Amino acid sequence: MDLEEAFQVVGEFGTYQKRAVAILTLLQIYMACQSMLIVLIGAAPSHTTERLENTGAGTEVQGSSQISFTEDSSSIVAEWYLIKHQAYKVHLAGSLFFAGVLIGNVFFGPLSDRIGRRPVFLGALFFEVLFGYVSALAPSYEVFALSRLLVGLMNGGMALVCFVLTQEYVGKSYWAMTGTLTNMTFAVGIALFAALGYFIRPWRNLAMAANSPGVLFFLLCVTLPESPRWLYSRGKTQQAEQVLQELAQRNGNGRPILKLRRPPGLDRPDGSSSSTGLAPLVLHPVLRRRTLVLMYVWYTCSLVYYGLTMNASEDTGNRYLSVAMYGLVELPAYPLCIYFINKKWAGRRKTMASFLACAGVSCLLTMIIPAKSESWFNATSLALVGKLMVSAAFNIVYVYTSELYPTVIRNAGLGVCSMSCRVGGILAPFVPSMRVVHESMPFTVFCLSGISAGCLGLLLPETLNKPVAETLDELGSPAYQRIVESKVRLLEDEEEEEEEKKEKGPKHKLNG
């Protein structure tokens, strides 16, 4: 039997799989806290600059002037006086985190395809928690900045494999749901981090509190098994059968006898393939075209998503409420995603492109509406709509990308796409500061990026109701395409039969 048939026997989303996915999904709260940390601990308190006369506590001499903080706020800005010509260091710390995530995606993605999901995931999570404590205890800005780079490095490897595991532990029919739950929990994590920051004001205590849940999650994740899909894609069918049998037993389905057929395209006796790594993404014509388009789409999603979120710290008013709102506004996006991407007339491709274009249009309208309008229809509300739309697109692109790449190279593909995504994350902290050039500059960037990415996304193939390729040989195989077409026709026939039954049902009742 093939892997999907085995999941039908084991259970596509049984009790144990629900527990495993719940652990990995709740881990997104920890990742959200690490990603958004700089938004609150890097907030600049109110201050005044005066001609130097007397130097007292709470001041820092800079040339012939002194800086006095008029707001009682604890942050890295107040501790290390990161204002004026030193203000760029706050944005630099945020960008270093995403630079680390970029490197982590490039390094850990192919590594997890080669040596396994579990060891890479656990190793990266352990060191992310360790370096997170270094951030909280950093004696100087330089140590803090270096620790943020290292936290991002581990976060890039861990987050990528975490998402893939939520997909590979369950049957394909549940991929959209688990992917959506993962991204939705990240949004909840942003709101919870804002609440945590409201109650814990000292920045070191906040960094410590935000990092501590990682210890609990590491202990819970140690019990998780290796991905059966990865074992199968590498030709380790016996080990894959053992993991699947354990899943079945813990799901309450006994210990069934499974016999997986060896996947095609594995050219070495040990089950390894010469077509792993990054080379197929460049050499394979189908993968090359998909990867180029997906890289730009991921870059745009990250740039607009994090740019709008970090723009919350630039807004006037309660910064904690602003950060929470930019997190909570995402939640309506996820039910919309689940509804549209599973509809035959919408699917993954059209829905993703539409949400990206709508995000761009929302950012365009913010440049027309006055920023200080007293009406509910103002620039801030439009920016929140833009965040909702790009969040929906970001959620879809995660699920969509995992379906476009074969299992044997899925993490490498996601790693390269995430690399371009992190380029957007690196640039995102600097985009809100472009308003010093012109008030509309940040939203001009978001608008053009969203609309262009939506148009390019239409070049990708649809994956709704189509089986996932396990190896590269299946990707361009005529036989595999015939299997795909037959399964699509079968699903369409089943849908037509269900619709006919629904239509005939009321008539029979009336006749009776």
Residue 486 falls inside a structural domain: no
Can you give the pLDDT at residue 375? 61
- pLDDT reading at 62 higher than 50: no
In this predicted structure, what is the pLDDT of residue 210?
A: 96
Residue of higher predicted confidence among 192 and 441: 192
Residue at 482 is within a domain: no
- 3-class SS at 211? helix
Q: For residues 260 and 335, state if they share a domain.
A: no
Which tokens hold the place of 218? 């590491």
State the chain's maximal CA–CA distance in angstroms.
97
Answer yes or no: is 479 within a domain.
no
Question: For residue 510, what pLDDT is reported?
Answer: 45
Q: For the residues 21-39, what does the mean pLDDT come to?
A: 94
Please check the confidence at residue 275 and state whether its pLDDT lies above 60: no
DSSP secondary structure of 216-259:
HHHHHHTTPPPPHHHHHHTT-HHHHHHHHHHHHHHTTS------
Structural domain for 176, as ranges: 1-46+71-264
How much is the pLDDT for 173? 83
Same domain, 260 and 295: no
Q: Are 159 and 31 in contact (CB under 8 A)?
A: yes
Judge whether 7 lies within some domain.
yes
Q: Are residues 151 and 209 in the same domain?
A: yes
Residues 331 and 371 in one domain: yes
DSSP 3-state of 118: helix
Report yes or no on 430 lying in a domain.
Answer: yes
In total, how many domains does the chain have?
Answer: 2
Residue 485: is its pLDDT beyond 70?
no
Say how many C-beta atoms besides its own lie within 10 A of residue 130's C-beta: 16
User: Are 237 and 198 found together in one domain?
Assistant: yes
> Is the pLDDT assigned to residue 134 strictly greater than 90?
yes
Is residue 278 in some structural domain?
A: no
Q: Which of 81, 192, 204 is nearest to 147 (CA)?
A: 204
- Residues in a beta bridge with 65: 51, 62
Q: What is the CATH number of the domain that holds 98?
A: 1.20.1250.20
Cβ partners under 8 Å of residue 173, min gap 6: 12
| Digit-coded pLDDT (tens) for 198-250 | 999 899 999 999 999 999 999 999 999 999 989 988 888 889 989 999 999 99
Give the contacts of 213 (CB within 8 A, at least 6 positions apart): 29, 30, 33
Average of per-residue pLDDT across 325-348? 86
Q: Residues 36, 84: one domain?
A: yes
Residue-level pLDDT at 454: 95
Q: Which of 96-105, 223-232, 361-370 has the lowest mean pLDDT?
A: 361-370
Same domain, 440 and 371: yes
215 and 298 assigned to the same domain: no
Same domain, 251 and 375: no
- Asked if residue 495 belongs to a domain, the reply is no
Written as six digits, the tokens of 175 are 């991929």
Q: State the amino acid at position 121 in one-letter form.
A: F
Residue linked to tokens 């079945």: 248
Does residue 191 share a domain with residue 143?
yes
Residue 241 lies in a domain: yes
Share of the chain above pLDDT 70, in %: 82
Contacts of 269 (CB under 8 A, 6+ apart): none
159 lies in the same domain as 236:
yes
Q: Are strands 59-62 and 47-51 parallel, antiparallel or unpaired?
A: unpaired
Claim to verify: residue 115 and residue 249 sit in the same structural domain: yes
